[in-house]
């Protein structure tokens, strides 16, 4: 009988310890896919490599949001700013070269091709235009962080 009581106590203690350990253990966070904004591009891959600034919108013909972002970016075209749309179907190799896996992906690069601001997904005209203004003239906008390390 004593052995039965000792066994029952041991089982109860082990069970209690198991419950405490389980309660303290946090479940693993779900895996999140991370998309990235290209950090640098070769300006010779795009028209007007001599322009001071380059805005590139990586798109897909099947993406309605892409069309909207490309239209917002097109307005930025000027003597100092070149704008390029890189549609996946027509320029698949460019998407692969710069490892663009999500569209729309929009980047703003300097003359050296280094990305100064970037967005993945939809972006408002105000935010895109402010990001371009900020990289061209730091401190010129109330939100200088727009487009910086915005990855999904």
CATH of the domain at 109: 3.40.30.10
Mean pLDDT over 86-95 rounds to: 96
Alpha carbons 108 and 142: distance in angstroms, whole number: 18
Contacts 24+ apart (CB under 8 A), 40-44: 40/109, 40/112, 40/113, 40/114, 40/115, 41/98, 41/107, 41/109, 41/113, 41/115, 42/113, 43/109, 43/111, 43/112, 43/113
Residue 72 falls inside a structural domain: yes
| Domain-located, residue 152 | no
pLDDT (average), residues 87-113:
96
Residues 6+ apart with CB under 8 A from 129: 72, 75, 76
CB half-sphere exposure, 97, CA atoms < 13 A: 11
Q: How many domains does the chain have?
A: 1
Query: Taking every pair of C-alpha atoms in the chain, what is the biggest distance, in angstroms?
Result: 95
Inside any domain, residue 27: no
Query: Residues 56, 106: contact at Cβ < 8 Å?
Result: yes
Position 34 pLDDT exceeds 50: yes
Choose between 145 and 13: higher pLDDT. 13
| pLDDT given for residue 151 in this prediction | 41
Q: Report whether pLDDT(145) > 80.
A: no
Residue 8 domain-assigned (yes or no): no
Residue 76: what pLDDT?
A: 96
CA terminus-to-terminus distance, the chain: 63
Is 109 inside any structural domain?
yes
In a domain? residue 89: yes
pLDDT over threshold 90, residue 82: yes
Q: Do 89 and 48 form a contact (C-beta atoms < 8 A)? A: no
Q: What is the pLDDT, as a whole number, of residue 44?
A: 96
Count of CB atoms within 10 A of residue 60's CB?
18
pTM: 0.75
In a domain, 21, yes or no: no
Tell me the DSSP string of 122-136.
---HHHHHHHHHHHH
At residue 150 the predicted structure's pLDDT band, cuts being 50, 70 and 90, is very low
Residue numbers of the domain that contains 76: 43-136
What is residue 61's predicted lDDT score, i.e. its pLDDT? Answer: 96
Q: Is residue 78 part of a domain?
A: yes
Averaged pLDDT of the chain: 88
């Amino acid at each position: 009988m004593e052995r039965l009581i000792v066994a029952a106590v041991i089982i109860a203690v082990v069970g209690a310890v198991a419950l405490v350990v389980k309660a303290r253990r946090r479940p693993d966070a779900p895996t999140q896919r991370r998309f990235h904004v290209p950090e640098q591009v070769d300006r010779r891959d795009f028209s007007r490599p001599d322009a001071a600034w380059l805005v590139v919108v990586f798109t897909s013909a099947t993406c309605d949001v892409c069309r909207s972002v490309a239209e917002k970016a097109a307005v930025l075209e000027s003597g100092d700013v070149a704008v390029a749309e890189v549609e996946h179907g027509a320029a698949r190799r460019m998407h692969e070269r710069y490892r663009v896996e999500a569209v729309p992906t929009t980047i703003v690069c300097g003359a050296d091709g280094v990305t100064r601001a970037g967005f993945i997904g939809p972006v408002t005209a105000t935010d895109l235009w402010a990001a371009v203004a900020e990289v061209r003239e730091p401190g010129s906008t109330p939100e200088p962080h727009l487009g910086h390390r915005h990855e999904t």
